[in-house]
Amino acid sequence: MHAINYEAPKSLDEAVKLLAAHGEKARPLSGGTDLLIQLRAGTRRPEFVVDIKEIPELARISFSLQHGLKLGAAVPCIAIHENGDMRKYYPGLTEAAHLIGSLQIQSRATVGGNLCNGSPAADTTPALVALGAQARLAGPKGERIVPVDGFCLAPGRTVLQPGELLVELQIPAPERHASDAYLRFIPRNEMDIAVVGVGAALSLDVSDDRVVEARIGLGAVGPTPIFAAEASKSLIGKTLDAAAIERAAKLAVAAATPIDDMRGTAEFRRHVVGVLTRRTLAIAAERARAANQR
């Protein structure tokens, strides 16, 4: 590994200044489970590594039914799984975070890092897209908030500008009868990279089982995670019956743009998008009906 300089600022201000001073030569370090591999392989060669885990604002999960969720960029996946609010209100995002690698990896890896690494197969990104998450960024020109849908531009590339840092992910509080789910397909039980991942979030009117809000996020079936807009829209106002789910699954398949690679063929991936869309919608619906959170 090439020589680096390491800084661990204690405040967001300090981190922003450091990153601004070094621009493209700097890279934020969160859990490091991607970055250290990239440093070793030489695929990223920052001169400055800015560890963001010492910044209190980035290391916390804050949730209330009034204000929703603020998930700091440096919160390790295991802390999400261990958080009662996360499991209760965002079970889909929680299961996505709990699917990433082994416990050793979950002790370090973060949802923020998963997003900023920009892999099309990131497990937590489709779950974030489904929840309508926004990313709060801080950089040399100040702060901005951008939707997670659209955050990734190409494999390994995101909207982050040189010197810019992900501070937190913001997710609205769930409606009374709302929930989410995430499933991925891998050819083994655990510890693999998604061949297909699907996240779904639903809000229901339980008086007639009608969909008030629906969002479906797809992973590993395009150069970036995908928001399946047509599929999501097709559900709104509809009763969530088998026909509605089938229609959404077809539209989700149409939104996927997979390629053939060693993990699976495009044709297989399209098929799996349909299967997982049906299943995540069914799970999210079940959870949403059972939820009663206001």
Partner 1 sequence: MANKVIVETNINGDPVELLCEPRQSLLEVLRDVLELTGSKEGCLTGDCGACTVVIDGRPVCSCLMLGVEATGKKITTIEGLAAGASLHVLQQKFLENASLQCGICTPGFLMSAKALLDRNPNPTEAEIRYSLAGNLCRCTGYDKIVRAVTDAAAAMAGRGRPAHGTVPSETASGMAGEMLAKGEVK
Single out the residue of 93, 74, 87 nearest to residue 8, CA to CA: 74
Pick from 16, 18, 19, 39: which binds partner 1 (CB under 8 A)? 39
Q: Least distance from C-beta 54 to partner 1, angstroms? A: 9
Q: Least separation, in Å, of the C-beta of 176 and partner 1?
A: 34
Residue of 15, 16, 27, 33 interacting with partner 1 (CB under 8 A) = 33
Residue 105: CB minimum distance to partner 1, A: 6
- Measured CA to CA, the distance from residue 267 to residue 245 in angstroms comes to 21
Task: Select 72 or 113, whichever has its Cβ closest to partner 1.
Answer: 113
**39 membership: H or E segment, kind and range:** helix 35-41
Residue selected from 13, 24, 40, 265 as contacting partner 1 according to rule CB under 8 A = 40
**Binding of residue 8 to partner 1 (CB under 8 A):** yes
Q: Looking at beta carbons only, is 1 or 290 nearer to partner 1?
A: 1
One of 25, 87, 88, 108 touching partner 1 (CB under 8 A): 108
Q: Is 236 in the site for partner 1 (CB under 8 A)?
A: no
Q: 165-171 and 68-72 as β-strands: parallel, antiparallel, unpaired?
A: antiparallel
Give the whole-angstrom CA distance, residue 137 versus residue 130. 20
**11 lies in the site for partner 1, by CB under 8 A:** no
Burial group, residue 43, by CB count within 10 angstroms (0-12, 13-18, 19+): exposed
Residues in 56-95 at the binding interface with partner 1, rule: CB under 8 A: 78
CA distances 18 to 5, 125, 164, Å, are 12, 27, 10
242-255 helix and 266-290 helix, angle to the nearest 10 degrees: 140
Q: Which of residues 197-226 bind partner 1 (CB under 8 A)?
A: none
21 binds partner 1 (CB under 8 A): no
What separation, in Å, do the N-terminal and C-terminal C-alpha atoms of the chain show? 52
When binding is defined by CB under 8 A, the residue of 43, 62, 64, 104 that contacts partner 1 is 104
Strands (E), 65-173: 68-72, 134-139, 142-147, 152-154, 157-158, 165-171
Q: How far is CA 157 from CA 115, 152, 162, 215, in A?
A: 10, 6, 12, 24
Instruction: Tell me the window of 35-43, 130-138, 210-218, 266-274 that interacts with partner 1 (CB under 8 A).
Output: 35-43
> Considering the rule CB under 8 A, would residue 103 count as an interface residue with partner 1?
yes
Q: Which residue's CB is nearer to partner 1, number 18 or number 249?
A: 18
How big is the site for partner 1, counted in residues (CB under 8 A)? 27
| Positions in the binding site for partner 1 (CB under 8 A) | 1-6, 8, 29, 32-33, 36-37, 39-40, 49, 51, 53, 78, 101-105, 107-108, 190-191
